[in-house]
Amino acid sequence: MVTKGNWSGDVPTWPKDVVVLGAGFSHALYDPCPLTDKLGEMVRSRLSSEDRAKMPPSEFEDGRFEEWLSYLSERQPHLEPEGAAEAALLAMRVTRVICEVLSELQEEALSAEVDGWFYEFLSVLHVLRAQVLTLNYDNFVECGVHALGLQSAGWFGPTTVCEDDVLAG
């Protein structure tokens, strides 16, 4: 029981190492993986002309794709219900195309040769028991953990390390 000024339980311990992985990580792992704004342009090229007309007219740069997507996904109080529904549908179509683009790139990347630093990095994460926060839409870390085949001591002998062991669930 915790009372003001009195702690009568185990003090929680926090991991000392936290690693945040963003889009640059996937790009470093597989060069064709786009950074955010390039992804926006890849999405634009696959949308219908009707949907492209609803996008900002200039190319995305300086994080504008993520900004536009956030705007599109949030309820806008100045929109009438029909406009809000239309924005939500556009957000759904854009999200579907993002999934298509990234799935294709991930498939290409997983069939390509991976640099050795990636597996060393995953091994270090596991040894450090670091918390990993990935902001990426792809599954490179999870797939890499499976491909690496790390073993960990278990109660009944060695067990295979899975992505939950590295990403802490």
Residues 76 and 56: their CA atoms lie apart, in Å, by 17
Cβ contacts of residue 103 below 8 Å, gap of 6+? none
CB-based contact 136:23 (threshold 8 Å): yes
Q: How remote is the C-alpha of 26 from its chain's centroid? A: 9
Q: Residues 29, 21: contact at Cβ < 8 Å? A: no
Count of CB atoms situated within 10 Å of the CB of 81: 7
pLDDT tens digits, one per residue of 50-108: 999 999 999 999 989 999 998 888 888 888 989 888 999 999 999 999 999 999 998 89
At 99-141, the pLDDT tens digits run: 999 999 988 988 888 888 988 898 888 778 778 888 877 788 8
